[in-house]
Amino acid sequence: MPDRFAEIESFVKIAESGTLSEAARRLGLSLAATSRRLSQLEARLGVMLIRRNSRHLSLTEEGSLLYDRAGRALSAIDDVETDVMRRATEATGLLRVVTTIGAARMRLAPLFRHYAALHPDVAIHLETAAQATNIVETGHDIAICFDPPPDSALTMKRLTDNPRLLCAAPAYLNRRGRPGAIGDLLVHDNIVVGEAQQELWRSVVGSGHGPRVTLSTNDGDMARAWALDGAGIVIKSLWEVADDLDGGRLQQLLPHVALPAASIVALYVPGQGEMAKVRSCLDFLSRHLKKGWPVSPADRATPA
What's the pLDDT score for residue 68?
93
What's the pLDDT score for residue 102?
67
What's the pLDDT score for residue 100?
77
What's the pLDDT score for residue 292?
54
What's the pLDDT score for residue 149?
64
* Beta-sheet strands, E only, within 194-291: 213-217, 233-237, 251-253, 262-268
| pTM summary value | 0.67
Alpha carbon distance 244, 119 (integer Å) = 32
Low-confidence ranges of the chain (pLDDT < 70): 1-2, 54, 102-104, 106, 131-133, 147-151, 207-211, 291-304
What's the pLDDT score for residue 300?
47
Residue 232 neighbours by CB under 8 Å, 6+ apart: 168, 172, 188, 189, 190, 191, 214, 215, 226
Considering only the C-alpha atoms of the chain, give the largest distance between any 2 of them, rounded to a whole number of Å: 104
* Beta-sheet strands, E only, within the chain: 50-52, 57-59, 93-99, 122-128, 142-146, 155-162, 164-168, 190-193, 213-217, 233-237, 251-253, 262-268
What's the pLDDT score for residue 135?
83
What's the pLDDT score for residue 232?
94
Kind and range of the H or E element at 27? helix 20-27
What's the pLDDT score for residue 43?
93
What's the pLDDT score for residue 209?
62
What's the pLDDT score for residue 301?
47
